Amino acid sequence: MTVDAARALQVHSERFGAEGKSFRAPARVNLIGEHTDYTGGLVMPMAIDFQTIAVVSPRQDGRAVFYSENFGDEFSFEIATLGLDGRGEWSDYPAGVVWALRQEGVPVSGFNMTLWGNVPLGAGLSSSASVEVATAMALLDAAGVELPIERLANVCRRAENEFVGAKTGIMDQFVVAGAVAHRAMLLDCRAMTFELLPLPEDVRVVICNSMVKHRLADVAGYGDRRGEVEAGQAVVRAERPAVELLRDATLDDLAACADRMSVESLKRCRHIVTENTRVLESREALLAGDVETFGGIMYAAHVSMRDDFAASCEEVDELVEIALQQDGCYGARITGGGFGGCTVNLVKVAETEVFVAAVKAGYKASLGIDAECFVCEPSDGALALLRAAGSSATTLQAGA
């Protein structure tokens, strides 16, 4: 499905009878650096060419009115009295942004907003950060306020953590806001600094959805993982004063503490320590334009997620192995929190079509499941999209 600003503006003016202004935010995929963010570590995501569009126009009664074209649903509330009271629906994401902006001291006046996106919902490509950042961009413009990227990302993260109640790290919102086309973003989740890295022109990032939703038993496992990591981190911290977060730990530090933690904690922590190293090695490979090495590191990261972090599943493992058998595939790994979801694959441009067909056919033959595959472009984040649109965002007269 394509979404375009002109059509979104049209929908908005027909619904609200007012001229709107449009803002866009992309989706994202994580190339490498899984489960490192909440221990102050390194991640390397990029924005991808799906988008959420937010069209906004003012209203005078102090109310916020959100309409989602995706859900065909409208929700409104009085801004001044908005508390931490989500209703467990799509509207919590944009309403959470209103709440978080006000917490940040940004004035939010009455408005109508139309939201429309083509990011697959709940597929691990962060439609949630996309809708949050698009909403924040629109409301900041309406307030005449500019926020630096860390604060913008943090407002959106607070919307998701505190208003929606989903405990995500900062990666999604940060890259959706701050990415730059043709670049991956190496984000230091403790310092909140980032570096943009070149992606070779002759490869494509292909995302394959295993169609396995996080299973109930495994979601319990997800909670266990964080507990196991935190328990291990506490042991290392007590033993080695220089280690504040696992980010600071080496394999030697872990080995020295091995007999004071559970086997599970040791393996989970080992994944995180080695994963931070892999992100740095990936940086070197990208700077050298060495896509073969980068692909090899991706697979090593998959093996670590599978064996040490125990957060893959049979279907995703199969999808990775099928991908690696194809010509022109440099690397493949599970992406996202785990226990299902998508793989990210690095594929030679000329081979992408054949790759997608072969992976779909192989997965169907092996497990009887139809995978969805997306060939992605490393895309601009919301701030770069805004800059590219000029100082004023795209506007359209009502009824035009």
Residues marked active site are found at 172
Closer CB to ligand ADP, 121 or 361, in the complex: 121
Q: How far is the CB of 330 from ligand ADP (least distance, A)?
A: 25
Among 91, 128, 173, 335, binds Mg ion (CB under 5 A): 128
Which tokens in the block code for residue 127? 């439609």
Interaction partner, residue 71 (ligand ADP, Mg ion, none; CB < 5-8 Å by kind): ligand ADP
CB of 49 to Mg ion, least distance (A): 18
Closer CB to ligand ADP, 70 or 103, in the complex: 70
Candidate segments 119-127, 243-251, 276-284, 289-297, binder of Mg ion by CB under 5 A? 119-127
Nearer to ligand ADP, 125 or 291 (CB): 125
As a whole number of angstroms, the longest Cα–Cα distance in the chain is: 71
**Least distance in angstroms from the C-beta of 207 to Mg ion:** 15
214 vs 225, which CB is nearer to Mg ion?
A: 214
What is the C-alpha end-to-end distance of the chain, expressed in Å? Answer: 23
If one asks whether residue 282 binds Mg ion (CB under 5 A), the answer comes out as no
| Shortest CB 124 distance to ligand ADP, Å | 5
Provide the minimum distance between the beta carbon of 106 and ligand ADP in the complex, in angstroms, as a whole number: 21
Nearer CB in complex with ligand ADP: 90/99: 90
Residues contributing to the site for ligand ADP (CB under 6 A): 52, 68, 70-71, 90, 93, 115-117, 121-128, 131
State the residues that interact with Mg ion by CB under 5 A.
Answer: 126, 128
